[in-house]
Amino acid sequence: MALSGFTIFCDMPEDVVRADPGSRRRALAILLFFTALGAAAIQWGLPWLTHVRSTTPGARRAICISFIGVLVLFGGSVIAVGRRIRRLGRATMEHQEIPPPGLRLLRDVRRVTGARAALIGRGYILIGTVLMACAIGLIGLGTYALVLLWPRQIHNGRQIQRPTRGTAGRETLRIRFPGP
């Protein structure tokens, strides 16, 4: 075989780590819960959102702000997942075996040890770092969009808008006075 010289394709030991039935049940329950939650949001939330957007003035901005807020929260959860993946990679590097001792599994897995496990551990660390960096970027962009879309500041009963260019090329501040 031409690929037999690579360490990635070496024979794995027959040591099999058994799955944890409790983890399987918990993962299935979480999957079913979020599937039902997503289906309910699509079934009842989207028609309501379409109706509110078309009938309520200023609702588009509120919907955009809510959506961006959800994206920022999603970025926070992705950071948590990235940290967990990095922790798994560090444990794999430390013990030189995958899965590391004490890890509860959803399915039976053959144990990998040595240099191959260290390579997989480094990959986990890299993947976790990339996930965290992308999530930080998503949070940054989402926060920037929230700042841009947030309702304007009101000072002494007057709404202060963003500075605009005046006729002379310099920036002027427009203040809108409320009507009677």
Give the pLDDT means over successive 10-residue stretches in the chain (180 positions): 50 72 91 94 84 77 79 90 94 90 86 90 95 92 80 58 53 54
pLDDT, residue 16, reads 84
Around Cβ 81, how many Cβ atoms within 10 Å?
13
pLDDT, residue 1, reads 44
Whole-model pTM: value is 0.64
User: Exposed, middle or buried, 112 (CB in 10 Å: 0-12/13-18/19+)?
Assistant: buried
* CA–CA separation, 136 and 144 (whole Å): 12
Q: Are 100 and 91 in contact (CB under 8 A)?
A: yes
pLDDT, residue 175, reads 54
pLDDT, residue 47, reads 84
Q: Are 126 and 107 in contact (CB under 8 A)?
A: no
pLDDT, residue 46, reads 81
Q: Is 115 left (phi over 0), alpha (psi -120 to 50) or beta?
A: alpha
pLDDT, residue 67, reads 82
* CA–CA separation, 121 and 107 (whole Å): 19
End-to-end CA distance of the chain: 87
pLDDT, residue 159, reads 55
User: Exposed, middle or buried, 146 (CB in 10 Å: 0-12/13-18/19+)?
Assistant: middle
**Chain-centroid distance, C-alpha 151:** 26
Q: Are 77 and 109 in contact (CB under 8 A)?
A: no
Could you identify the residue written with the tokens 């989207």?
Answer: 46
